[in-house]
Structure 1
Amino acid sequence: MILMDNIVREGSRVLREVAKEVDMPLSEEDLALLQDMLDYLKNSQDPEIAEKYDLRPGSGLAAPQVGVSKRMFAIHTTDEKDQLYSYGFINPKIVSHSIEETSLENGEGCLSVDREVEGEVPRYARVKLQADTLEGERVTLRLRGYLAIVVQHEMDHLNGIMFYDRIEGYAGPHKKEVPRTAL
């Protein structure tokens, strides 16, 4: 079971690396890790389990956040119609995106960042994601709003980018300049 102690914090080198593609079919080790990442998200959203194990709630978790520089991430959240999206993604790619941008009104947070960071994080309002899943399926998902933001946040982790790198004018610790076209 992944706990908060297993989450790598900002300043760690692995969070700034471009993660490596994952060989398919998935090894038993990679399969177990991705399932554990998804289970963390589910557990973190269950009030009883989260309190018992002191888990911070999360909607997404990327492999670099648990110290593994591989192109995998998990999401567990709902869309604006309350439809659940619970996936483990392998070698995900954003294949297209809208021109229109959006952001979360109160900014973004991150399990790897133990402090509040104020500022608007510009994201594409809609993205089209292609990836393999834990179940061995190849999926193409059109995502919008919060789901699109979560996916872009996790994709950034796979590319060594932290959410605050995208905040205009932010000059805090560990800041790295990132061109907007980095997605």
Structure 2
Amino acid sequence: MILMEHIIREGHPTLRTRAEEVTFPLSVEDRQLAEDMLQYLKNSQDSEIAEKYNLRGGIGLAANQVNCLKRIFALHLTDDAGELVSFVAINPKIVSHSVEQTYIESGEGCLSVDRAIPGYVPRYARITAKFMTIDGEEKKIRLKGLPAIAFQHELDHLNGIMFYDHINEKEPFAPIPNSTPFERV
């Protein structure tokens, strides 16, 4: 079971290192890692389990964050329509994206960052992505809103990029051209 003590924090070199492609079929270790990452997110969103194990709530977790340089991340959240978006993405790629951008007005957070970092993080409003499932099946999905933002946040982790790298240092709340702020409905 992944606990907060297993999640590395900013400053750790693994968070700034590009993760390696994963080969199929998955090794027993890679499959277990993927399942454990998704389970952490589910546990962190269950108030009883989160309190018992002192877990910070999360909607995404990348392998880099548990000090493993594999191109694997998990997402577990609901979309704007209240539908559950829950999967493990292995070797994920964005194959197309909108011109329009979006950002979360209150800023983004991260399980590997123990401080609030104010500022807008520009993201594509809509993306089409491809990835492999745990079972080696190729998936192609379209995401918008918070799931699209979370997918981009986790994909950045796999490339050694932190969310705050996207914030305008001089003007953290400068308007982002061609964008609409994301608002949870």
For normalisation by structure 2, the TM-score amounts to 0.91
Cα displacement (A) at 1:137: 2.1
Q: Is the 8 A contact 1:164 1:170 kept in 2?
A: no
Q: In the alignment, residue 65 of structure 1 is paired with which amino acid?
A: Q
Q: How does 1:42-81 map to 2 (within 5 A)?
A: 42-81=42-81
- In structure 2, the residue matched to 1:174 is none
**Residue 103 of structure 1 aligns to a residue in which SS?**
strand
- In structure 1, the residue matched to 2:106 is 106
For normalisation by structure 1, the TM-score amounts to 0.91
Structure 2 unpaired stretches of 5+: 172-185
Q: Is the 8 A contact 2:24 2:136 kept in 1?
A: no
**Residue 21 of structure 2 aligns to a residue in which SS?**
coil
- In structure 2, the residue matched to 1:169 is 169
- In structure 2, the residue matched to 1:25 is 25
Partner Cα separation in structure 1 for residue 136 and residue 20 of structure 2: 19
Partner Cα separation in structure 1 for residue 86 and residue 97 of structure 2: 21
- 1:145 equivalent in alignment to 2:109: no
Q: In the alignment, residue 163 of structure 2 is paired with which amino acid?
A: F
- In structure 1, the residue matched to 2:183 is none
**Residue 148 of structure 2 aligns to a residue in which SS?**
helix
Q: In the alignment, residue 132 of structure 1 is paired with which amino acid?
A: M
Structure 1 unpaired stretches of 5+: 172-183
- In structure 2, the residue matched to 1:122 is 122
Partner Cα separation in structure 1 for residue 36 and residue 71 of structure 2: 15
Equivalent residue pairs, number: 171
Q: In the alignment, residue 95 of structure 2 is paired with which amino acid?
A: V
For 1:13-57, what per-residue CA distance to the aligned partner results, in whole angstroms no more than 9, with x for missing partners? Answer: 000011100011111100000100000000000000000000000
Partner Cα separation in structure 1 for residue 137 and residue 57 of structure 2: 27
Partner Cα separation in structure 2 for residue 45 and residue 109 of structure 1: 15
- In structure 2, the residue matched to 1:9 is 9
Cα displacement (A) at 1:170: 6.0
Q: Is the 8 A contact 1:87 1:134 kept in 2?
A: no
| Distance 1:170-1:57 versus aligned 2 partners, 3 A rule | farther
Partner Cα separation in structure 2 for residue 100 and residue 60 of structure 1: 23
Q: In the alignment, residue 141 of structure 1 is paired with which amino acid?
A: I
Identity of aligned residues (%): 60
